[in-house]
Structure 1
């Protein structure tokens, strides 16, 4: 039970951080990435037919701890990000998407 509460609290923390990111608040580091840098990948992870990721977006993806980020994929829709598009970014940047992602 305590583990479930901890997981839920962690998820709400990430949602709060995503909201802060979208409102322009100061960056926080999650999974080796400053939350403010995630905006560089926003265009490539939203909409029905997103453009390819930019070089700057791919630089963010390369620095990120991808298995760590995968734990938060269920929270992406709350920030207006399409999880399928977001999970395609590593492949589009020449990386492997973690298997359990």
Structure 2
């Protein structure tokens, strides 16, 4: 039987949130963590994208570019408000030595 103790329920809720947050942070896409991807979002979101930050470019420099190319025509990027064409411009804007040939 579940105890209806408010303190216990609050503690359980806090643990669930902590575990969920750690799982989200641990996930990565093409060698970029979710938080790394989010640092680049202002640079790939219309209508007024910003120049990529040093943090974004550093994260992008460790990414698997060919893997990222696989998302170019995906409906996933637009569902997050990301313009795929702006995303494909990031390696050049970050002066990365070998931009992807998608």
TM value normalised by structure 2: 0.68
Aligned partner of 2:99 in structure 1 is 97
In structure 2, the residue matched to 1:44 is 43
Q: Which runs of 5+ in 2 are unaligned?
A: 1-20
Report matched runs for 1:17-96 at 5 Å: 26-27=24-25, 28-73=27-72, 74=74, 75-95=76-96, 96=98
Shift of the alpha carbon at 1:35? 1.5
Displacement over 6 Å in runs of 4+: none
Structure showing the higher helix proportion among its residues: 1
- Between structure 1 and structure 2, the one with the greater Rg is 2
- Corresponding residue pairs, total: 77
Flag the structure with more relative contact order, 1 or 2, with Cα contacts below 8 A and sequence separation at least 6: 1
State the TM-score, normalized to the length of structure 1.
0.69
Distance 1:51 1:30 in 2: 22
Unmatched 5+ stretches in structure 1: 1-23
Distance, in Å, in 2 between the alignment partners of 1:38 and 1:30 is 8
Shift of 1:26: 1.8
Root-mean-square deviation (CA, aligned residues, Å) is 1.5
